[in-house]
Structures are given as C-alpha cells and as structure tokens.
Structure 1
Amino acid sequence: MMISAEMLSSFAKVAETLSVGRSAIALKVTKSVVSKRIAQLEAHLGVTLFSRSTRRIVLTSAGELYLEHARRALAELHAAEELLLASRSEIKGPIRITAPVSWGQRVLCKLLPEFLKMHPGIEIELTLADRMVDIAFERFDLALRWSASLPKQDLVSTPIAKIDWLLTASPSYLALQDEPKTPEDLAHHSTLFYWREPSDQWWVMSAGQSQRRIPVKSRYQVDNPEAVLEACLQGLGIAQLPDYLCAQAISDGQLRQMLPGWIQQTRFGNLITALAPPERMRNLRNRLLIDFLSQSEGANLLKQLNL
C-alpha cells in the first residue's frame, strides 16, 4: 500500500483540529473515512501518530515528527498541481501573509488591492505584526520582514524592497538648534529613538570607508516608527526614519534631511525580504505575489519624489 494524498491531508487536518469530527467536516467526508485513512497511514508507517482517549486526541512524539514532513509533501503536491493547471485555468486560492506594521500599513496595503484585481481567484489573509513569527507553526505562506531581523528557520528569502533610512528633523526644531554638520554633532542633540532594546541607544552611519558609532541622548523611545514620525514633526528632536514614512514630509517641507552623505545603518537593515519554507516559495500564488511586489517596489521612493 502506498501513502496517498488523502491519508496525508486527513492526518494533517486532524493534527490541526485535534478532532476527527471537525476534520471530517472540513474535508467533506465522513468520520469513518478520516479514521480509516489515519489507521492505514499508521499501519504503513508502523507507528502510532495520535494518542486517543474518550475525551481528546493528541499527537504522539512520532506524530509531531511526521507532521512537518506531511505538510511539506502536501504543499509540494499542491504546488505541482497549480503549475499544471495554471496554463489552462484561473489561479485560485488563499495566501496567508505577515508583514511589519508600519511598512504594511504605508506600503503593502496600498499594493495588495491592485494584485487582487489582477488575480480575482486569489484570496489574501494579512497579519500585521512586528514580533518574530514561526512561519511553519502559524501556517503563514509568506512572511515579509526586515532583512536584519530574519528568523533562524530553514527558509528561502527573496528581497522585495530597498529601504533608505534618513536622518530627519522639523524646521521648528532646527530653528532652535544648530543643524548637525558631522555625525559627532548628534551627541549634543535631542534624538527620537525607534527602539526595542534599551542597549540600542547608538546610531551607526557610514560614508565610503568611514564609519561612525554615535552615542545618542534619547528623550523619546518607542517601538513604533509612526509615533517617532509624529514626535519628529512636532519638533521634539532628530530621528532616523525609513523613507516610506518620511519622504513625503521631506518633499512637502515638513521635515528636513540632514547629513545626506551618510548612510544610516539601523538594526533593522535596509531591505524588506519575503520568507517562506522552500516548498511554499515554489507555490505559484506566492511567486506571483513576490514578483508583483518586487516590481511595484523596484522604483526608489526618493527618486519618485525628486529628493
């Protein structure tokens, strides 16, 4: 007896729901069919995948070990099926995405409607979160993350967008303080910090072969760049901000860029990267979205605004 896709899908669904009944409903078969498929799979493998009692069903250690491989095999089968069907039918199905909150709100949410109009059969479920995610455990198809904070998992990465970090302040702040002419001048200014760890109160920047690591005095530390932008606009100090967040304000004269010859090196990196397990990266829906985002974000935002 060969292992079938139906056995694997029944096993994966019961592992997800921990219920034969709910799995049967989701798979549109009877409970007896689900139970038979799992029994056949266990017999073929020679192991017990679930520990059963009158009240509950849980994965055994062997079941937990096998689950990841079963999900990967199912994803490979679905990807192969999509590739074969793509040339003669509309591409359909869901994509579960997670992205950083600020970039997601400011950039991604403006791009996804266009993608969905191009592919009416595709559905998107978007979760905006700055926390580290376990892509496999949380069942995401794609994670869009800063390049310097990638999770340590067996994932394939693809760059999506280049982000420039700019040193900015409002005209009202600079009317009261001398504009910094060198990186060292920043040590004497009030700074606004996009912060996650207290030890991060240093700004690093480079120009050619020269690099500076400047200790900064932060009046305001917050883990959301939107809040940093608002404080900067109100004249509380100097901030390092990503271009998608501050470029329009610079273009409108609400903010001024300082030390433009120096590249800001933040703990987040300067790329937004798409991450996925290898089998999901080959999924046609995911590839379509990655290609769309890469092309949409390819043009430099600062050049668009003539900065």
Structure 2
Amino acid sequence: MSILPYLETFSAVIEHGSFTAAAQALGISKPVVSKQVSALEQHLGVQLLQRTTRRLHLTQAGEMFASYSKRIMTEAYEAEQSVLPLQSEPQGRLRISAPESMAISLLSDVLPMFQRKYPKLELDISITGRFVDLVEEGIDLAIRVGTLEDSSLIARKLMPCRFHLCASTAYLDVHGRPIHPGDLVKHNCLIYSQGQHPNNWLFLDSEGKEFHVKVSGNLFSDTGHLLMNAALNNLGVFMAPTYMVKQALAEGQLESILDEFTPSGVGLYAVYPHTKLVSKKVRAFVDFLADTLHQ
C-alpha cells in the first residue's frame, strides 16, 4: 500500500481540525476522509487520532507522524509548484510573522505596493513580538531584528539596523542624562514585555564585551508604539530599533542616549525555514522587501 495519497487527507484533517472541514477543503465526502484515515492507521498499526464528539486529538504516534507528513506534503507542493507554468506568477497564501513596530513603521507602506505587483498572492500577517516556531506554526517567513541563532533557518539581511535608547528632552532635563548604562537603575524604564529578557538590557563596554543592566519601571507592554508614546509624553526611557524612532529622533521629539554602549552590529532580517526548494511566493516577498527597504 502506498501511503502518499492518504498523507494529503491526514494532513488536511490536522490542518482544518475535523473530518468535515478536511472533506470540504479536499472536495471529497466526510466518509471518504474517515475511511482513508482509518486505512492509514491500520496500515501503520498505530492510532493517530483520538476521536471525540467535539474534537480530534493527536496521539503521541500521531504527533510524530504529523510532523513528517506535513514536511512531505510541503516538499511535494513545492516540487509541483517549481515546474508548473503558473509559477511564473506567485500565488496562494503567504503567512508572515512580524513585530508590531515593524508592521506599523515599514510594512504598512510596503505591503500595498507588493500586493499591486502580485495580486494573486493572499497575505496572512501575524503581528507578534515573540519568536514563533515557523515550522510548528506553519509560518512561511518571519521578520526579525537581531541575529540568526537557529541554524535550521535561512536569514537574509534586509537592511542594517541598531537599537537606540531614547527619551524626551523634557524627561532628561528633569531626571538627568545617564552617562553609563548603570545609571538606568535611577530611571523609569519603559519595558517591551515580549523581549527574551525584558528587564535585562544588553550593552557593550569599550572593548566590545557584553554586559546587562537590570532595569525597572512602571510600564510594561508588548506594543512598542505604546512605549514610544509614553516616552514622547516625558514618562521614561525605552529601547527601540532604528526604523521605529528614526523620524522622532530627526524631529527632535526624542534623544538617543548612551549610543556608545548600545549594540550596532544587528540588522533587520527575513527568516524562513530551510528547504530544498524555496517557494516562489517566499522568494518574491523577500526580494521585494529587500529591494524596497534598500531604496
């Protein structure tokens, strides 16, 4: 028995959460879906799904098998798309993960241009500051600030970027300008809660060695622009990437402080899973973003 025809059905059940939804997505009947999943389980000699009246649950064997079947179906789709004539124009759904600050500061202007160029692509943008598991959550690519730590991912640098420690002139006039990161313990720090270590801010000494300063303050948020608004209203000090504060710095609304201690060797990256064939839609978006941001 070749299980390849059954993998698509099983993967559709996992993706859509029910036999009924999978049947609708595949254009077949619910009994056929149920029969194919049962046949797959019988062939493998293990139970993949626990069925209840309300929902389906993967067994331990099902979770293991699902990870492989998803990978196989993805590669089969990419292989098919790589040779189809309609691959000359990217299409389908493109799932993107991006931080809120990036979405507001850069993507809001870039996306309309991209959609006009590729009208057959359907964009699904997930706004979050956490480091999502791209493979586990079915995300095609993520946009991140920093450096690549996961060697299973491909990272393409879109533009140089750094972090700035910022506050308003009025706040600094009242509370003083810190001359060393250690002075931040005396300041009200506005903290981005989705950072890997929200309270521990990273700095570099004169020899380039890393050190952290534990900060505190009266405002935590997973929304960078809320923190920036608080800083603009003279409420404290916050750390943000260049693209987010560039205009406020240029207009004198904020001051960048302790620049000699803040890391500068970071960048804005497009990150996507390593596969033998990078899909046309991912390549089109990454290329467009790199060209647009470079300009």
TM range (shorter): 0.7 to 0.9
2:165 aligned to 156, 167, 170, which one? 167
8 Å CA contact 2:159, 2:267 repeated in 1: yes
Moved more, 221-230 or 244-253: 221-230
Deviation at 1:11, TM superposition (A): 0.9
Query: What is aligned with 2:190?
Result: 193
Structure 1 unaligned segments of length 5 or more: list them. Answer: 300-307
Residue 285 of structure 1 aligns with which residue?
A: 281
- Aligned mates of 1:88, 1:142 — CA distance in 2: 19
Aligned residues of 2:47 and 2:62 also touching (Cα < 8 A): yes
Distance 1:238 1:281, change over 3 A: farther
TM-score normalised to structure 1 length: 0.78
2:121 corresponding residue in structure 1? 122
Partner in structure 2 of residue 27 of structure 1: 26
Is this contact kept in 1: 2:145–2:161, CA < 8 A?
A: no
Deviations 1:52-102 (A, max 9, x none): 577765433322211111111111111112211256653210011221122
2:17 is equivalent to residue 15 of structure 1: no
Q: Shift of residue 118 of structure 1?
A: 1.1
Q: CA deviation at 1:143?
A: 2.7
- Residue 21 of structure 1: how far off its partner (Å): 2.7
Distance change in 2, residues 1:252/1:7 (3 Å)? same
Q: Which secondary structure state, in structure 2, belongs to the residue aligned with residue 26 of structure 1?
A: helix
Are 1:101 and 2:100 counterparts? yes
> CA 1:281–1:190 in 2, change beyond 3 Å: closer, same or farther?
farther
**Structure 2 residue ranges without an equivalent (≥5):** none
Q: Structure 1 residues 125, 257: CA separation in 2 closer, same or farther (over 3 Å shift)?
A: same
Question: In the alignment, is the contact (CA less than 8 A) between 1:165 and 1:263 conserved in 2?
Answer: no
Contact 1:99 1:145 in 2 (8 A): yes
Contact 1:98 1:126 in 2 (8 A): yes
SS of the residue corresponding to residue 124 of structure 2 reads strand
C-alpha distance 258-116 of structure 1, shift in aligned 2 (>3 A): same
Residue 89 of structure 2 corresponds to 90
Output one character per residue of 1:224-271: Cα deviation in whole Å (capped at 9) or x when no partner.
3323322222223443332112110111122233344x15149xx933
**Residue 106 of structure 1 contacts residue 245 of structure 1 at CA under 8 Å; is this kept in 2?**
yes
Q: How has the CA–CA distance of structure 1 residues 254 and 21 changed in structure 2, closer, same or farther, with 3 Å as cutoff?
A: closer
Size of the alignment, in residue pairs?
293
The 5-angstrom pairing of residues 186-225 of structure 1 reads 186-187=183-184, 190-196=187-193, 201=199, 203-206=201-204, 209-211=207-209, 213=211, 215=213, 218-223=216-221, 224-225=223-224
The aligned amino acid for 1:34 is V
Contact preservation (8 Å) 1:93, 1:122: yes
Match of 2:269 in 1: 273
Amino acid at match of 1:190: H
Quote the Cα distance in structure 1 between the aligned partners of 2:76 and 2:69.
11
What is the match of residue 76 of structure 1? 75
Post-superposition offset of 1:193:
3.0
**CA distance in 2: counterparts of 1:84 and 1:215, whole angstroms:** 53
Relative to structure 1, is the Cα distance of residues 185 and 136 closer, same or farther in structure 2, using a 3 angstrom cutoff? closer
Paired amino acid for 1:289 = F
Answer yes or no: is the 8 Å Cα contact 2:78–2:277 preserved in 1: no
Do the aligned partners of residues 179 and 84 (structure 1) sit closer, same or farther apart at CA in structure 2, a change above 3 Å counting? same
Q: How far apart, CA to CA, are the structure 1 residues paired with 2:52 and 2:18?
A: 12
Is the contact between residue 140 and residue 282 of structure 2 (CA under 8 Å) also seen in structure 1? yes
Structure 1 residues 52, 295: CA separation in 2 closer, same or farther (over 3 Å shift)? Answer: same
Cα gap change, 1:221 to 1:42, in 2 (>3 Å): same
State the Cα distance separating 1:46 from its structure 2 match: 4.2
1:122 partner letter: L
Give runs of aligned pairs for residues 221-260 of structure 1, distance below 5 A.
Answer: 221-223=219-221, 224-260=223-259
Kindly tell me: are residues 58 and 153 of structure 1, through their superposed partners in 2, closer, same or farther at Cα, counting changes over 3 Å?
A: farther
